Amino acid sequence: MIVDMHVHTDRYSACSHMSPEAMAQTAMAQSLDGIVITEHDTLWSQDEVQALQAQVPALKILRGIEVSTAQGHALSYGVSSEDAAAFYAHMPLADLTHIVHDGGGIVILAHPTRYDDDIPPEVYDAGIDGVEALSLNVRMYMARAIESLAAQLDIPSIAGTDAHVTESLGFYGTDFQDPIETEQDLVAAVKARAYSLCGDLSRITAYNETVKDQVAQMEHLLQEGILSRNEIKAQYGFSFSFQEGVRKGRDLHLRMP
């Protein structure tokens, strides 16, 4: 059962350009079996999930949340509305894991070193349950830090797209050995490491073939020095992390499963 573990919609994530309905229809077209909606700092209600689920009964829809902590973004699964009410912007990662664990959930560190050169030392003592190893915002230059973190803490890795547009869906997924019907099933399967990471190799390869041209275009924009970071993002679609990656000469190719 292939599940995209990291998806944003325009209902609660201002940076997303994908409606919940378009997301669900595209996910099915990409042969996904399930998705987890992980809005920024907002947890969908059960009623909202059920309403969307009724429109697409063939696609399992679950909810999670991506919390902006003081040590980076963290994906939380198996979280109740009561738990989420205690979250706040830039809270210590250790406090997040404490709340989530008390409620029976898990915390996965999202796209490590996307915004910083190093993983904050506090992460190693925060009690996280896993790390995101594959997504459209996980690039080759991040691989060593991700693998080192997973090895040192003996935690599993997951895969999702971090999709904000429909075109991103289907690049990566987490392939569970058994059906996932509930958020508790998801938590248990991740803890048991009863899954493998997967991706659409042809699409990843095709994207990677465009990276050289994207980097060249970004380098040209930097040399011109006319546009601000926000203007480059708005006009050319280059994220802040991609812009910074070009500035620092990083390998911005996507990782293969």
Domain residue limits, the chain:
2-199, 211-247
Q: What is the pLDDT of residues 150-209, one digit of tens each?
A: 999 999 999 999 999 999 999 999 999 999 999 999 999 999 999 999 999 999 999 999
What does each C-alpha distance from 17 to 48, 176, 217 come to in angstroms? 19, 28, 23
Type of residue numbered 206: A
Predicted confidence at residue 213, as pLDDT, reads 95
DSSP single-letter state for residue 142:
G
Q: What is the pLDDT of residues 59-112, one digit of tens each?
A: 999 999 999 999 999 999 999 999 999 999 899 999 999 999 999 999 999 999
| The length of the chain, given as a count of residues | 257
Least confident of 51-55, 165-169, 190-194, 220-224: 220-224
Type of residue numbered 230: N
On the 0-12 / 13-18 / 19+ scale of CB atoms within 10 A, 126 is buried
C-beta atoms surrounding 13 within 10 Å: 19
Averaged pLDDT score across all residues of the chain: 96
pTM: 0.94
As a whole number of angstroms, the distance between CA 216 and CA 221 comes to 9
Please answer whether residues 102 and 78 qualify as being in contact, where contact means their C-beta atoms are separated by less than 8 angstroms: no
Which residues on neighbouring strands pair with residue 61, listed in sequence order? Answer: 35
Residue 61, helix vs strand vs coil: strand
As a whole number of angstroms, the distance between CA 169 and CA 7 comes to 8
Comparing C-alpha atoms, which of 166, 238, 234, 243 is closest to residue 9?
166
DSSP letter for each residue of 82-119: HHHTT--TTB-HHHHHHHHHHTT-EEEE-STTSSSSS-
As a whole number of angstroms, the distance between CA 22 and CA 13 comes to 15
CATH topology for the 2-199 domain: TIM Barrel (3.20.20)
- CA-CA-CA-CA torsion sign (71, 151, 143, 133): negative
